[in-house]
Amino acid sequence: MGKKHKTTVTHLEMTAEPRLPPCPRPMGKYALMRAENPPVHFYRYLYDAVGRDYVWVNRKRLSDETLAGIVQHEDVEIYVLYCGGVPAGYFELDFRSMPRVELSFLGVMPEHVGSGLGSFLLREAIQTAWGRNPNRLIVQTCTLDHPRALPLYQRMGFTPFAQEEAELEELD
């Protein structure tokens, strides 16, 4: 049995494309690329590296086959931000329930926390999602996430619409 964590999950939505000022681009050499049909091992690396400090556990429980069915689905888009040639963060958009889009995951590698890359990635995710003309963009965060996550989502135009208590169990 792993360690259990109680958390409050906040569900947020955006029902119109926000008018956001331009976001500063990352310093140095960077590229934001879509990972097309990412291998499960690469996705697991991103998920663990970004989410380890925030108790991201749900995808760790999935079999390789089940996870591949999600991350390699044609209506699921994963974008990886590279800085200096190495992964610095990623976001995942799920278009399978159009016209509702879910921002399933977004985060940066631990060494980039506080660098502004999270804001850059969120703006890019919002712009990418609204490029497909949804009627609603949703995301969820919880009290185990970085303390600036919820305020950032709200600054970017998301509005909370529900909250729930949950318990997450880390894997051994």
Structural domain that includes position 85? 4-169
The structure tokens listed for 83 are 């800085």
Instruction: Look at residue 158 in the predicted model and tell me its pLDDT.
Output: 97
One digit per residue, pLDDT tens: the chain, 172 residues?
578 878 888 999 999 999 887 777 877 889 999 999 999 999 999 999 998 888 788 899 999 999 999 999 999 999 999 999 999 999 999 999 999 999 999 999 988 887 778 899 999 999 999 999 999 999 999 888 888 899 999 999 999 999 998 877 776 5
121 Cβ partners below 8 Å, 6+ apart? 32, 79, 81, 89, 90, 91, 106, 107, 108
Residue 20, SS3 per DSSP: coil
Q: What is the CA radius of gyration of the chain?
A: 16
Question: pTM for the full model?
Answer: 0.93
In angstroms, the Cα distances linking 169 to 3, 4, 5, 51, 172 are 6, 4, 6, 14, 9
Instruction: Look at residue 88 in the predicted model and tell me its pLDDT.
Output: 94
Amino acid, res. 13: E
Please count the structural domains in the chain: 1
CATH number at 93 reads 3.40.630.30
For the chain, the helix, strand and coil percentages under 3-state DSSP, each to the nearest 5: 30, 35, 35
Q: What is the DSSP string of 98-141?
A: TTEEEEEEEEE-GGGTTTTHHHHHHHHHHHHHHTT--SEEEEEE
Instruction: Look at residue 172 in the predicted model and tell me its pLDDT.
Output: 57
DSSP letter assigned to residue 16: S
Amino acid, res. 161: F
H or E stretch covering 164: strand 159-169
97 Cβ partners below 8 Å, 6+ apart? none
